Structure 1
Amino acid sequence: MPQNTQQPMTSNKPYLLRALHEWIVDNGCTPYLYINTQAKHLRLPAHLADENPLVLNSSPKACKDLQLTNDAISFQARFSGQVFTVHLPMDAIIAIVARETGQGMTFEWDGPTADSDENNNSHSEKSGDNGDKQEKPRKSGLKIVR
């Protein structure tokens, strides 16, 4: 077997997310993103910060200016009638599934949480103080159903 002298490859997660998002939309289904709200550098409406995992509709009808980059997913959406910019780092994405069929993919999450970093300089717009809670991030209860 040849030795690998190349630099390590980048994560395939953003590429898989883009492909699955396109596949779900092309098949007339609604892409749902499952988000770990304990991840660092999230930008969410404050009232959604305590939901974990959080499920967001990322369909073209629900999102404006959807951008799926290698680092994050960002878009504008309405929450309680107000437009809000959402920023989801790749580490925060737990899964993407089609609402109608449940088909999609879950991802293993092994990144740091906002609670685990004492010097967190997060740009999160989450509210509330979870200083009393020292919970480990829950494993996703999701599984692929075909």
Structure 2
Amino acid sequence: MISATELPSTRPYLIRALYDWCSENGFTPYVAVKVDASVQVPREYVQGGEIVLNVSMDATSSLKLGNDFIEFKARFGGKPRDIMVPIHRVMAIYARENGQGMAFPVSDDETPGATLTAVQPHAAEALPDDEPTPPSTSSSRPALKRIK
């Protein structure tokens, strides 16, 4: 029998499931990421060590939601960028329109496979070029809600 410490993380599977739920119901999936040296994102969009990324099909190309990384190409300020986020750095995935989703714990000494807890994502978003940039104040953050 496999012990709990040897099991693969459920995080990538939950992220894919919630991404599918958002997409199939017409919502825009966002991921909140705790940025460190392992995260490849435009640093000028990182606020407070965090970034929120629009990972919808309209905002990305070549999106891959893998077991170890989320990878895609997106435009930031009109410039194409390659994005790579280790799964264990994802703090939350949620629907922009209603805030429903799931949060995950992330700490600086985090190892893949941690248990789930609630956290609040911060707004610093990668949006398609035709969308206006939302305000980046803490009051603009949606509260995550449980999916029923």
After TM superposition, the score normalised by the length of structure 1 is 0.72
Equivalent residue, structure 1, for 2:77: 80
Equivalent residue, structure 2, for 1:33: 31
Q: Percent identity?
A: 35
Moved over 4 A (4+): none
Flag structure 2 segments of 5+ consecutive residues without an equivalent: 111-117, 122-142
The counterpart of 1:89, out of the listed 61, 66, 86, is 86
**What one-letter code is carried by the residue in structure 2 that aligns with 1:67?**
K
Aligned-partner Cα distance in 2 for 1:96–1:104:
6
Aligned-partner Cα distance in 1 for 2:38–2:18:
24
Q: CA deviation digits over 1:5-54, x for unaligned, max 9?
A: 325210000000001001101000000110111x3411111312444321
Equivalent residue, structure 2, for 1:11: 9
Question: What is the DSSP-based 3-state SS (H/G/I as helix, E as strand, rest coil) of the residue aligned with 2:105?
Answer: coil
After TM superposition, the score normalised by the length of structure 2 is 0.71
Q: CA deviation digits over 1:68-115, x for unaligned, max 9?
A: 0000101000011110000000121000000011100000113538xx
Retained in 1: the 8 A contact 2:103–2:120?
A: no
**What one-letter code is carried by the residue in structure 1 that aligns with 2:62?**
D
Please report the RMSD computed on the Cα atoms of aligned residues, expressed in angstroms. 2.0
Aligned-partner Cα distance in 2 for 1:52–1:30:
23
Retained in 1: the 8 A contact 2:91–2:106?
A: yes
Q: CA deviation digits over 1:49-70, x for unaligned, max 9?
A: 4443211100000000000000
**What one-letter code is carried by the residue in structure 2 that aligns with 1:6?**
I
Flag structure 1 segments of 5+ consecutive residues without an equivalent: 114-138
Aligned-partner Cα distance in 1 for 2:87–2:108:
10
Equivalent residue, structure 2, for 1:69: 66
